[in-house]
Chains A and B, each alone.
Chain A
Amino acid sequence: MELFLQQLVSGVSIGAIYSLLAVGYALVYSVYNFTNWAFDAFMAFGAFAAFTAILWLFLPFWLAMLISIVLTIVLSVGVEKLAYSTLRRRKAPRLFMMISAMGVNLAIVNIINKIFGGTFRKFPIESVQPVFLGGVSIGRMDLIAGVISFGVLALLWLFLYRTKWGLGIRASAIDILTASLMGINNDAVAVIIFTITGVLSSVAGVFYGIKYAVYPMMGIVTIKAMIASIVGGLGSLPAAILGSMLLGVLETLVSGYISSSYRDLFSFLFLIVILLFFPNGLMGKSGEEKL
């Protein structure tokens, strides 16, 4: 029982990180119908920004985190202006935007690699002893990461469902052309969406860096988040969170009780089975109302 609880705690803490990333994918996908592959580069960038601020500028953690969020927003919006909105304006097919995103991703990751080198670094923050509940250990950083992750997601939910701007974004998600005819400023929607993407990837990057390590290729994990958002139901925020939690817990339970060597094999087989029964994902909607 203790072992089971321990595995569950680990699964949820992994799921929390997947959630932030999956929501970022879902948001961009629901409005622009393309997968923002540059997301993993944003995540690595966010982690390195905070890392550099602490190590080289000797800033406290919260300030470093803030700087990281601001810089990642600048990067994210910059990439949108430079690489995506230009293509959209020229009516390029969706596939081309995805290829453009892959290019941006490779470029940013390689620049980070060139500047910082490929080594795995420990995030410069005091490691604290975990809390023990019975025999189950819960990392303090996992708790903080979990609280902040869900705080950010709750704020995002409030923004999308309780503000006028949120309504605009949800309208754009249903049909961006009609929304713009109704007077919603497309450019402003794009800036807001990529600002949110920047915040999400920066927070995910910093906590992933603290939990594991900071290195240029750390964004590889976003592929899992992408899968989680598809299984949950692409284009929906609660679905992205559900998919992420499911994947996180599934992975640890498979490792714990079936086979750790074939964790991905069994986890993904299970996900394929889910998709067979729910082709639009667990909470997927077939178009009328997204987000």
Chain B
Amino acid sequence: MRNTSKIKWMGLVMIVLLLATSVLSSCKTEKVLKIGFITEQTGVDAYIGPASVPALQDEVDRINAAGGIAGYKLQLIVYDTRSEVTDAVAVARRLIDQDKVVAIIGPSWSAAGIPLADIADAGKVPMIATTASNVNVTVSESGVLHPYMFRVCFIDPYQGYAQADFAYNKLGLRKAALLTDVSSPYTVGLHQFFEKHFLELGGEIVAKEGYNQGDTEFRAQLAKIKDSGADLLVVDAYTYKDVGLVAQQAEALGLKIQMMAGDGVFVPDLLEMAGPQLEGAIVTTGVSEDSPQFADFNAAFEAKHGIKANIYTYYGLDALMAIEYAIGEAAKKGEPTPTAIRDALETMTDVQLFTSVVTMEPDTHNPHNKPLLIMSIKNSQWELVETFTPK
């Protein structure tokens, strides 16, 4: 008796649910395009993502309030990677297979970007990596272009080249030591290109030390670097924590050396962590939070959301605006399908995005000639030294 009433109840609940879903789906008359965002909200790189989510949502709300793009409303679907490649792969599959997004923003790091490129190709959904700068994110090791993978940042060779050039020609340094995160394609790639150009110029690499992601102890490596007589220490770490700890431990060892790092560590948190120890250090980056062009945005953003925007926020917005542009272009020719959006991204020419005007290189899917800033740390503040444009 009890069982039959249980079954009746369950039947009733199911009927109500069925009715509810059919009513809800019949309400859905407006056309919605889903855009996925793969981001680091937790895990070791949890400092990257939190500001990006409200920034991208604001932009989506702005577009929707203005009537959408060619009648299409946008919906942002955000998934956390926990800073793990395995989770990044899982959420990318979920965005493509279950959520049926038309485009994906992210990931922010090359170790995830490389496997995700294959997933984007297989699912035929365009993906725009934000700050993944390893060459092989968009072009495979065998030199084949990933048709669905794009990026909005410059690539490692370019940054490594600029660093070597600046160190040799402007700073007059000749003996470099490299401290490489051997588990990060970003760091490994950057250092390869730094080394190549620094040797070409006539410099010398006197020490090559390594460490693994998550390490906090660098004194063994620094003691060896001190012993090598290097006058330049290049730590193109992916996480600012590494550079902060290296600077603190170098000071503790009495090692006074010119430090240099890449855009991976260009976040204000680095200055709070080890500003005094990094006095005079050089950091190369694509954009700067201190640049006057972002002052209004930064102030409004912090007032509204209570957190500071960082470069990852800007690159996230770059990717979203590129997708908006591509949806608009695709809609002109018909249905904005993922493939149509991909085609529009590939031929994007002189389009104003958040940080700069971007032209996509069709054969590499990298932005063409993005300028690079060479920054220095003075009194725990960033200071622009010069702007570097590739030849």
Q: Are B44 and A251 in contact (CB under 8 A)?
A: no
Q: How far is the CA of A221 from the CA of B245 in the complex (A)?
A: 15
Q: Are B223 and A3 in contact (CB under 8 A)?
A: yes
Q: Is there a chain B Cβ closer than 8 Å to A178's Cβ?
A: no
Q: Are B223 and A7 in contact (CB under 8 A)?
A: yes
Given known contacts A118-B46, A137-B252, A260 and B221 CB-to-CB distance under 8 angstroms? yes
Q: Are B221 and A216 in contact (CB under 8 A)?
A: no
Given known contacts A137-B252, A255-B220, A118 and B273 CB-to-CB distance under 8 angstroms? no
Kindly identify, within residues 196 to 218 of chain B, every residue whose CB is under 8 Å from any CB belonging to chain A: 209-212, 214, 216-217
The residue in chain A whose Cβ has the minimal distance to the Cβ of B245 is A212
Q: Are A256 and B223 in contact (CB under 8 A)?
A: yes
Which listed residue (A10, A119, A137, A215) contacts B217, Cβ 8 A?
Answer: A10
Q: How far is the CA of A118 from the CA of B50 in the complex (A)?
A: 9
The residues of B that contact A14 with a CB separation of less than 8 Å are 217
Q: Is there a chain A Cβ closer than 8 Å to B254's Cβ?
A: yes
Q: Are A137 and B254 in contact (CB under 8 A)?
A: yes
Given known contacts A6-B253, A120-B273, A216 and B46 CB-to-CB distance under 8 angstroms? yes
Which listed residue (A6, A121, A215) contacts B223, Cβ 8 A?
Answer: A6
The residues of A that contact B244 with a CB separation of less than 8 Å are 120, 122, 213
The residue in chain B whose Cβ has the minimal distance to the Cβ of A110 is B42
Q: Is there a chain B Cβ closer than 8 Å to A81's Cβ?
A: no
Given known contacts A212-B216, A213-B245, A216-B46, A130 and B252 CB-to-CB distance under 8 angstroms? yes
Q: Is there a chain A Cβ closer than 8 Å to B180's Cβ?
A: yes
Q: How far is the CA of A10 from the CA of B251 in the complex (A)?
A: 14
Q: Are B248 and A260 in contact (CB under 8 A)?
A: no
- Tier of interface size on chain B: 35 or more
What is the CB-to-nearest-CB distance from B100 to chain A, in angstroms, rounded to a whole number? 29
Q: Is there a chain B Cβ closer than 8 Å to A30's Cβ?
A: no
Q: Is there a chain A Cβ closer than 8 Å to B219's Cβ?
A: yes
The residues of A that contact B251 with a CB separation of less than 8 Å are 127
The residues of A that contact B212 with a CB separation of less than 8 Å are 261, 263-264
Q: How far is the CA of A15 from the CA of B42 in the complex (A)?
A: 29
What is the CB-to-nearest-CB distance from B28 to chain A, in angstroms, rounded to a whole number? 33
Other A-B contacts than A6-B223, A132-B254, 20 sampled, CB-CB below 8 A, are: A6-B219, A10-B217, A10-B220, A11-B220, A118-B42, A118-B46, A119-B269, A130-B253, A130-B254, A139-B252, A212-B217, A212-B245, A213-B241, A217-B44, A251-B220, A252-B217, A255-B221, A255-B224, A261-B182, A262-B210
Mind listing 22 A-B residue pairs with CB under 8 Å? A3-B224, A10-B217, A10-B223, A11-B220, A113-B42, A113-B46, A117-B47, A117-B50, A118-B47, A120-B244, A121-B272, A127-B251, A130-B253, A137-B252, A217-B44, A260-B210, A260-B211, A260-B220, A260-B224, A262-B210, A263-B220, A264-B212
Residue numbers of B with Cβ under 8 A of A are 42-47, 50, 180, 182, 209-212, 214, 216-217, 219-221, 223-224, 227, 240-241, 244-245, 248, 251-254, 269, 272-274
